[in-house]
Structure 1
Amino acid sequence: MVWWLLVGLQGGALLLLFMRLSRGRTRRPPLAPQNEGPSTTVSVVIPTLNEAERLGPCLEGLHQQGPLLTEIIVVDSRSQDGTVALVEAMARRDPRFRAVTDDPLPPGWVGRPWALQYGLDRAQGVWVLGIDADTVPQPGLVAAMVQQAVDLKYDALSLAPRFIVKTAGENWLHPALLLTLVYRFGPTGAVQDPPPERVMANGQCFLARRAMLVGAGGYRVARSSFCDDVTLARHLAKHGARVGFLDGSQVLKVRMYTSFWETWQEWGRSLDLKDASTPGQQWADVVFLGLALGLPLPLLVWLIATGTNGELALVTLLVINGLFLTLRLLLQFAIWPSFSGANIFFWLSPLADPLAALRILLSTLQRPKRWRGREYS
């Protein structure tokens, strides 16, 4: 009886996964670099707090963007490591750059949305592009994003980047954690818009019409969120905005983390998206990931090692979990172009799937108390 219950649960999860992945058949191709865009203006806002070690490539990448980009506002939260000096040095080369210091963090706000709101209040462009300090914008990024947003009639658009991974731990864990998003929300660039409660976004590179964003309350709607990008995107979609999420691997790179532990700790605690989801959605995703990502490999190994003895339920489980593993291996090839620096440990990342599913469970059970150098009660 227990085995047949598991057959029913995993069979349902397999069907749901097929439905989500099937949207990839009509997904839009990766965004291509573009030198010229529509006649408009773009303001970039970069929130920073002690980012001197990572900020340089981001500033250099923005410096290479064309005249569509009219101002780059670096909103610094009193860094102590020379972050502002880097921006001031770039401003002497390119007058579009300027550094401003935000006001002290108000009660009820998380640092990142507060800095973005502070920059939004000072931005003058028709479009506002929020960029994280750890990104490496490639030539043609800004023009390509704005052109795509105009062509596809998006009010807001964010991109999935190409991840720079170097250490063995990053290569092994990062793809497994990334696939927890693919399993839940399908591939980026799907032609059909998802319902507002399943909209996805990436705040590392988030473009929006300034007037629309201001009219919707700006980043205030996500002021207490540790996944402010998804919280904001779903709020905008719920209130009638068209929000896109596309493959930006050809125009945007990012070095998010530098080790296994940093990847586990920093990224893992926001991937549950609790601030943008209802408790029911969170726990449904936890159960789904357990059935579809965490369980298949261990269960398949156990079934092969112990044998099925011809029992129909166990044979059915063997087939179901074999299909899960086949899909997982195919997805490993599918996400390969989204990684720079992949090595042998990248190809071993399916072995990290149970850990990835466990990390989402742990994150769902916990509320972050420390985030990007700040302590929160």
Structure 2
Amino acid sequence: MTVVSSAIALLLTALQLPALALLLARLLKGARRLPALTPQPPTVDLVGQVSVVVPTLNEAARIQPCLDGLTRQTYEVREVIVVDSRSTDGTGDRVKAQQQTDPRFRLMTDDPLPADWVGRPWALHNGFLASSVRSRWILGVDADTRPQPALVASLVQMADTKGYDLVSLAPQFILKGAAEWWLQPALLVTLLYRFGAAGADADNPERVMANGQCFLVRRSLLEQLDGYHCARQSFCDDVTLAREAARQGAKVGFWDGAKLLQVRMYDGVADLWEGWGRSLDLKDAATSAQKWGDLAFLLAVQGIPLLALVTFGCLLVAGIQTPVLWLAFGVNSLLVAMRFAFLAAILSAYDRQSRQGFWAYWLSPVADPVAVFRIFLSSIRTPKQWRGRVYGQSMDPSPADTR
């Protein structure tokens, strides 16, 4: 028993120590990251500089806060193009009602989905093509977001000042119920462990992170990229496009936007499990080696530590005490302590006005093995449907696609 447990502890420690060193290197970069974006008043030179594109498909139940938030943006927004993919739930009616009080809104229906495109990048591509050539910036905004006043002006000013060509924002999440507070932070940490904190630039294009919920791109860069064409088959089109832009020499940023952007992404833990897990592995934007390498890394620093800590602790209490077991216990104790400490560091990423079930947030490290398992499931599966569309192996929409 002693020999077997020591051999397992030695093997695990040999895998975890390099992963721990990599994790520390990524997290320490956060000390040099840009601070959270703060509200800034618009300036005259921003007049009409931004075209906003909002892709929609059956979003009537949650789009109103997004429409209201965009209406509160000032003269920097030239137009808001809502690209609707033939919704059947009254989404278009909500947009038409918004037009009555804000003429900047424009509702359009995108063309039928081509065989080799995913719905979201196709809608964004059509919105870009329909936008005014006088706008220097194209801002993609998802229907489930809640833009705060001065979001667009602050984002464009910072991008101009810092010389960025493409910037996306990490939002503040709105969660409801203990199950969401328990699972979602564990899923979010898988991204932070792999790509570091928002505001810290990536070392190379292959480690670029992005969030399509608020995605600002210079028109000239989108023209250079032929719109969203490079991300046409990607279920994580935001990361795919951002990495391609970085490879072509564009300056790409991913910033903390929690003070200016909120989002209520999913209703309930089942929706959260399905929606977040759909593309959390980012396989559409990475090589197979990167995908499996990241999964192994997460297993070592997030999926295993709590289980290993309990296991090795029990062995030590049972009297099986060897230097290797103590080393493994120490390494996993450090990883678990870091994980719990991380909860305080990311607290600003969550809206706490509604504290129903918030207590479960502090237990979210217990969900880490579940979160890593969800990424494994995503890694071995190709999405077959999303937002009512059903896709085949060749990305052809099936006959069930009503788009």
Shift in alpha-carbon separation, 1:3–1:38, aligned structure 2, 3 A: farther
The one-letter amino acid paired with 1:186 is G
Q: 2:370 aligns with which of 355, 362, 377?
A: 355
CA distances 1:250-299 after superposition (whole Å, capped 9, x unpaired): 00000011111111111112100000000000000010111100000011
> Could you tell me which residue of structure 1 aligns to residue 243 of structure 2?
234
Rg larger for: 2
The one-letter amino acid paired with 1:2 is I
CA distances 1:134-175 after superposition (whole Å, capped 9, x unpaired): 000000100000001001100000000000001222111100
Q: 2:351 aligns with which of 317, 340, 356?
A: 340
Q: 2:56 aligns with which of 39, 48, 61?
A: 48
Aligned length, in residue pairs? 376
The answer as to whether partners of 1:157 and 1:245 remain within 8 angstroms in 2 is: yes
> Could you tell me which residue of structure 1 aligns to residue 95 of structure 2?
87
Structure 2 portions without partners, runs of 5+? 1-6, 393-403
> Could you tell me which residue of structure 2 aligns to residue 365 of structure 1?
380
The one-letter amino acid paired with 1:265 is E
Q: Distance in 2 between matches of 1:372 and 1:35?
A: 36
Please state if 1:286 is matched with 2:304.
Answer: no
Shift of 1:3: 2.4
- What TM-score results when the alignment is normalised by the length of structure 1? 0.98
The residue correspondences of 1:30-179 to structure 2 (distance < 5 A) are: 30-37=36-43, 39-40=45-46, 41-124=49-132, 125-179=135-189
Please state if 1:27 is matched with 2:37.
Answer: no
Q: For 1:108, what is the secondary structure of its paired residue?
A: coil
In angstroms, what is the RMSD of aligned CA positions? Answer: 1.0
The residue correspondences of 1:296-311 to structure 2 (distance < 5 A) are: 296-307=305-316, 309-311=320-322
Among all aligned residue pairs of Structure 1 and Structure 2, give the percentage whose two residues are the same amino acid: 52
Please state if 1:317 is matched with 2:328.
Answer: yes
Please state if 1:184 is matched with 2:194.
Answer: yes
Shift of 1:38: 6.2
The one-letter amino acid paired with 1:205 is C
Does 30-39 or 204-213 show the bigger shift?
Answer: 30-39
> Could you tell me which residue of structure 1 aligns to residue 389 of structure 2?
374
Q: For 1:121, what is the secondary structure of its paired residue?
A: helix
The answer as to whether partners of 2:315 and 2:321 remain within 8 angstroms in 1 is: no
Q: Distance in 2 between matches of 1:12 and 1:269?
A: 29
Q: Distance in 2 between matches of 1:172 and 1:263?
A: 11
Shift of 1:123: 0.8
Q: Distance in 1 between matches of 2:122 and 2:44?
A: 30
The one-letter amino acid paired with 1:194 is D
The answer as to whether partners of 1:293 and 1:353 remain within 8 angstroms in 2 is: yes
Q: 2:341 aligns with which of 330, 343, 357?
A: 330
Shift in alpha-carbon separation, 1:334–1:183, aligned structure 2, 3 A: same
Q: Distance in 2 between matches of 1:84 and 1:194?
A: 42
Q: For 2:100, what is the secondary structure of its paired residue?
A: helix
Q: Which runs of 4+ in 1 moved over 2 A?
A: none
